[in-house]
Amino acid sequence: MNRTFKPPMRFVALGTLLLSMAGCANLTPQSSLEQVQQQSAELTGQDALHWGRQQEQAPALRERIDDLLAEPLALESAVEIALMNNPGLQARLFDLGIADAERVQASRLPNPGFSIGRMTRGTEVEWERGLHLNLGSLIALPMTRRIAAGQNAQVQREVSLSVMRLATDTRIAWYHAVAAQQSLAYSEQVLQAADASAELARRMAAVGNYSALQQAREQSFYAEAALAHLQAEREKSASHERLIRLLGLWGEQMDFALPDRLPDLPQHPLDQPDIEQQAMASRLDVQAAQQAAERLATNLKLGKATRFINVLELGVSHNSSNEAPVQRGYEITVELPLFDWSGARMAGNEARYMQQVRRTAEVAINARSQLREGYQAYRSAWDVAAHYRDEIVPLRKRISEENMLLYNGMFIGVFDLLADAREQIVTVNRYLQAQRYFWVAQSEFDLVRYGPVQPSQASTASITSASPAGGH
């Protein structure tokens, strides 16, 4: 005989409690995005971070990008385009949704199991029904939630650092592209001066007023200037393509204009007396390492709490028969630790925890050192650029003015004047490279306050080697 299953009231109350606990966590990926925006807003300078989850938003984004590209692309406009259009960043943002889903999944109770059986013995028909719930997962649920929440927060910090790195890489690429554009203009001036000098030498040699050696020397200057001009064109093209990749542009969008020159050097450098304290307060990798250690500590506590009880299940049974009274009851299933006392698992958890503690210390020490190194590079870059601005460029200008006076007084010839023009252009171009070096160093220093930085080539290259042509 089949009868209706009426569980005791205490199990109904338990089921109601479990359902309420299971329904506490909801998917909130937008909240994770807002956390990332808040953490990265100071460096990126952007009020809103776009996450392209909805395809219908694409036309509005394209319109905004076209508006920004209609004018010469400003620095912060380039950062804005990169943050809403870079495909790599858009893919990285989906890690927020994945981590949020895992957080919610870790907060949910495992589904209960239901069993039903039918047995016959002669004319007797017996039905067995059972409902099973994993109590071990229920006991561990608070710790599991904390672990998942910690992992979600760690992903938010990692994504925030990715946003900051993209903003920094975009700024550096913009500085390189603008500087390469200026360098190309200066190399064209050097080439024009060398061409004029070589042509004049050829004409004077043709009439016997210039030796073959003097003509060859001027022709050599022109050949070197032509080679430097080709190198400047290659650098301009490469830096422009690098910026295009970071902005995520293609098609007609690639044909955008840049400002004519880099921003002026600030009059005074930043003073950072408490640079190491900033590392501990703002470095996201330090915070992530600390949180990873805390999460492993929670794992260690969870392992100790469930060391001898890896399997704990509660079951409710209801058996009915057409020839006997209904049987009701419950059962508890426990794993017997006869062969595995979880000693190896506990040793592994303790080793992982101590390993993370040492790694956290390493991250903290590296963060302090990287901040000091970043500030030293920033300050050195400002000193070099300021020296060009305040000493070398004014002196070069004064020498050119004096040479012009000597030329007007017929004390020097036209070749001396052309050589001086080349020297002046080369000096100005070196100052330009010093400016670029400074702005790159500042961008990297801004980022190193929040996470590790891989120094760019421009930060380690010699400024004097970046000139388009040597002076003669």
pLDDT tens per residue across span 181-191: 999 998 898 88
Is it the case that residue 197 has pLDDT exceeding 80? yes
- CA distances to 173, 191, 198, 229 from 203, rounded to whole Å, are 44, 18, 9, 24
Do residues 51 and 90 lie in contact, with contact meaning Cβ atoms separated by under 8 Å?
A: yes
d(CA 312, CA 135): 5
pLDDT band for position 175 (cuts 50, 70, 90): very high
| pLDDT higher than threshold 90 for residue 32 | no
119, β-bridge pairs: 126
* DSSP state for residue 273 in the 8-state scheme: T
Structure-model confidence comparison of residues 88 and 210, the more confident one: 88
Q: How large is the average pLDDT for residues 170-174?
A: 94
Tokens 């900033």 sit at which residue?
Answer: 278
Place of tokens 């925030």: 160
pTM for this prediction: 0.76
pLDDT the model gives residue 239: 94
Tell me the fold of 9-466.
Outer membrane efflux proteins (OEP) (1.20.1600)
State the average pLDDT over residues 203-216. 85
> Sheet holding 327-334: strands in order across?
113-121, 124-134, 312-321, 327-334
* Domain residue ranges in the chain: 9-466
Please choose, from the candidates 328, 366, 349, the residue with its C-alpha nearest in 3D space to the C-alpha of residue 453.
Answer: 366
Expressed in angstroms, the distance from the first to the final Cα of the chain is 110
Query: Could you give the percent of the chain with pLDDT greater than 70?
Result: 76
Q: Which amino acid is at 409?
A: G
pLDDT tens for 260-288 read: 999 999 999 888 777 777 667 778 888 77
Which amino acid does the sequence have at 334?
V
85 closest CA partner among 61, 55, 66: 61
Residues 302 and 297: their CA atoms lie apart, in Å, by: 9
Residue 321 to residue 121: CA distance in whole angstroms = 11
For 227-235, what is the mean pLDDT? 92
**Is pLDDT at 447 greater than 60 in this prediction?**
yes
Indicate the average pLDDT of the chain.
78
| C-alpha pair distances (Å), 438 with each of 175, 176, 275, 375, 441 | 10, 11, 19, 11, 5
Q: Provide the token pair at 84.
A: 């809403």
Q: And the tokens for 157? A: 């910090």
